[in-house]
Chains A and B, each alone.
Chain A
Amino acid sequence: MSQAVAPVRHVLIEGDKSYHRITEDLVSPTEKAPTREWMIAFTIAAAFLGLYVFAIVWTVWKGIGEWGANRTINWAWDITNFVWWIGIGHAGTLISAILLLFRQRWRTGVNRAAEAMTIFAVMCAGQFPIFHMGRVWLAFFIAPFPNTRGPLWVNFNSPLLWDVFAISTYFSVSLLFWYTGLVPDLATVRDRATGFRRKMYETFSFGWTGSAKHWQRWESLSLILAGISTPLVLSVHTIVSFDFATSIIPGWHTTIFPPYFVAGAVFSGFAMVQTLMVITRKVLKLEEYITLNHIESMNKVIVLTGTIVGVAYLTELFIAWYSGYIYEQFAFYNRVFGIYWWAYFGMMFCNVVSPQLFWSRKIRRSIWWTFFLSIVVNIGMWFERFVIIATTLARDYLPSSWSYYRPTWVEISIFSGTIGLFFVLYLIFTRVAPVVAIAEIKSILKVAGSQYIGPNAKHQHGTESVKKQDESGH
């Protein structure tokens, strides 16, 4: 298959790797005993997970009256957190699917971890609407199936039900895409393992052999899954935004929501990928696979999507003024200067102002700045959802029902608990599976390895054998 090749190509694999070296580097973290840092991180994450379980049991036992949500502000932290987590998940699919279609080679360094992040983030997101139902043991009522209650069906016209379909489809398709990509790499782990570990990986790698026909089908499958995941990921956050946009509440009832939500999702997702990658590459010593070029590319996506989000905020304000509709105007005046003004300005600063620093190449390529700003962006995107949900509901049509919302310890515990859940899953993932896609890295070695391109290139691209260069190199 001939590939379109960009005229400017960056080195994406540093350190003159041979195929065997790549295997060693990427599989070895799963073969060693966990490091002390890992144990400490895991203990902290597990403690937060414990807190989560406690707060959820508390909620189910006592009812959602234990939350700070009230009759006026009936969607509060829970839906804020739900939208925040779902948005974070979007970067994984963007990297694995959309960048595959655009043939961006830098995706190979980060796609595996980003997709894992997607799956874990969607799992965290799912907790919130499920427990917001209150009587969680009746959660199966959202599934349309012939039943003895009539049969009473769900409302297929409701955006909340569309959400059920969108999120569950998104989760299961992401899982298939991720796991199918993982199978050949699990076979690599299997073939190096002995004893019980070998048995375990034999089961998980489904009997992968590496046959030419299987690779051909595997590539075909990956391409189609990428092709259908692309509209899927766009549809998911569009439908999440429909939860708001199809309502008739001033401040929510806007047509700009779908593109604005999708851009915001990609924005926050890339920030989370940066947070994770900056730590992962350091701890697992993957700096030669997740290079500064990768980090810079992702920072470019952050500055682009951050600016789109900024334009969307300003457009909203302009349209509210231009509409001449006083309720809309009041909703936005209240959003900026009302009781939650601090959330609005926090959002503006974190999402619109702070990413502009990435116009500087020096900051884009700085690990510390990247890490710091990725956290700032994640806080900002959390504020965005809070601003949309809480400020809008706090001041509705009837001044007699105006209200203020503050979270209780239960909600704070559940939210920080899902962060614990996320990191428990991610840390386990780094122990059992290669964090970087081994086979995909090998397949781009000859077009992106430092010995083939860039200032230190020693070889003509793709003509000499890796083995020969290994011998001459040592």
Chain B
Amino acid sequence: MVSESKKVLYGLYNDEEDLKSAVKQARSAHLDILDVYTPFPVHGLDPLLGLQESRLHIIGFIFGAIGALFGFGVMTWVFTSDWPILFGGKPYWSVPAFIPITFEMTVLFCAWGMTITFYTICGMWPGVKAPTLDNRITDDKFCIAFDVSASSDGQVDQLKGFFSKSGADEVNLKSM
């Protein structure tokens, strides 16, 4: 895959409260944030960034429903049409006895479906090289990044001004 070189200007903050107020300022100044990186999930950040709630749980429900139907369907097919066997004079289609396995299949499909979806939409798999801006982002730095590939010097200076005004500890430019 050919990846285009991108120039990223990013600022590092020392605390999640500083980060949140900086994001607020950037949004009100209509600066186009590329992404925000944090060492742990910062609560209250999503609405400030204008991120919509994740729809991952809908996928989970769909996969769970498929699992339930699949599990129950296979047992029904096997015991009523493919190879019916009489167990202790009970009906072939013994629904209560199918419930435990149906439940387990629901959970199994839901968990695997959601997890695989999560890694796929995040673009994460073994062998993916993370475009790490700074090693300390997974440690104690909170990062706001701007894409400046197509920006003029004046716009870059404006962003730098924003970083120093909002209390960034460090500002760097990186091509990736």
Q: Which residue of B40, B41, B115, B132 is within 8 Å of A216 (Cβ)?
A: B41
In the complex formed, the residue of A with least CB distance to B111 is A173
CB interface residues, B 52-99, toward A, < 8 Å: 53-54, 56-57, 60, 64, 74-75, 78-79, 82-83, 85, 87, 90, 94, 97-98
Query: Is B170 in contact with chain A by the CB < 8 A criterion?
Result: no
Among A72-80, A135-143, A463-471, which stretch is in contact with chain B? A463-471
Most buried by B among A202, A208, A215, A231: A215
Which residues in B have their C-beta under 8 angstroms from that of A3?
43
Residue interface mask B97-108, A partner, CB < 8 A = 1: 110110111011
* A224-B64 Cα distance, complex, nearest whole Å: 11
Do the beta carbons of B14 and A217 come within 8 Å of each other? no
Q: Which of chain B's residues has its CB closest to A18's CB? A: B140
CB of B136 within 8 A of chain A? yes
What's the count of A-B pairs with C-beta under 8 Å?
203
Q: B123: which A residues are within 8 A, CB to CB?
A: 207
Q: A153-B78, A206-B126, A440-B40 are in contact. Are A192 and B135 (CB under 8 A)?
A: yes
> Are A216 and B104 in contact (CB-based, < 8 A)?
no
Write the nearest CB–CB distance from A405 to chain B, whole angstroms: 29
**Segment 196-223 of A: residues with Cβ below 8 Å from B:** 202-221, 223
B41 and A219 within 8 A (CB): yes
**Total interface residues in chain A, CB < 8 Å:** 73
B111 partner, pick from A156, A217, A225, beta carbons under 8 A: A225
Give the number of residues in B that approach A within 8 Å (Cβ atoms): 70
Q: Which of A37-45, A162-170, A307-315, A341-349 faces chain B?
A: A162-170
Question: Is the CB–CB distance between A439 and B40 below 8 Å?
Answer: yes
- Asked whether any CB of chain A lies closer than 8 Å to the CB of B4, the reply is no
Asked if B107 contacts A180 (CB within 8 A), the reply is no
- Shortest distance in angstroms between A436's beta carbon and chain B's nearest beta carbon? 13
A239 at the interface (CB under 8 A from B): yes
Query: Do B140 and A228 touch across chains, with their CB atoms under 8 A apart?
Result: no
Does A356 lie at the interface of the complex (its beta carbon under 8 Å from any beta carbon of B)? Answer: no
A465 touches which of B18, B64, B126, B127 (Cβ 8 Å): B18
Query: Could you tell me if A211 and B140 are in contact, using CB atoms closer than 8 angstroms?
Result: no
A161 to B18 Cα, complex, angstroms: 55
B130 at the interface (CB under 8 A from A): yes
Instruction: With CB as the reference atom, state the residue of chain A lying closest to B41.
Output: A215
| CB of A157 to closest CB in B, whole Å | 4
Does A442 count as interface, using CB distance less than 8 angstroms?
Answer: yes
Q: Is A339 an interface residue (CB 8 A)?
A: no
Ranked nearest first, the 7 interchain pairs of A and B with the lowest CB-CB distance are: A207-B128, A465-B15, A19-B140, A467-B14, A206-B124, A439-B40, A191-B135
- Given contacts A20-B139, A210-B37, A466-B140, 15 further A-B pairs with CB under 8 A are A153-B82, A156-B75, A156-B79, A157-B87, A159-B100, A165-B104, A187-B138, A188-B39, A190-B130, A210-B38, A211-B35, A213-B122, A239-B100, A442-B39, A466-B14
B binding-site residues for A, Cβ under 8 Å: 14-15, 17-18, 35-46, 49, 51, 53-54, 56-57, 60, 64, 74-75, 78-79, 82-83, 85, 87, 90, 94, 97-98, 100-101, 103-105, 107-108, 110-112, 114-115, 118-119, 121-132, 135-140, 143, 169
A-B CB contact pairs (8 Å), 28 listed: A20-B140, A144-B74, A165-B105, A187-B130, A191-B137, A191-B139, A202-B130, A204-B126, A205-B130, A207-B125, A207-B127, A207-B129, A208-B138, A210-B143, A211-B36, A212-B37, A212-B38, A212-B46, A212-B51, A216-B41, A220-B57, A224-B60, A228-B111, A229-B107, A235-B103, A443-B42, A443-B43, A463-B17
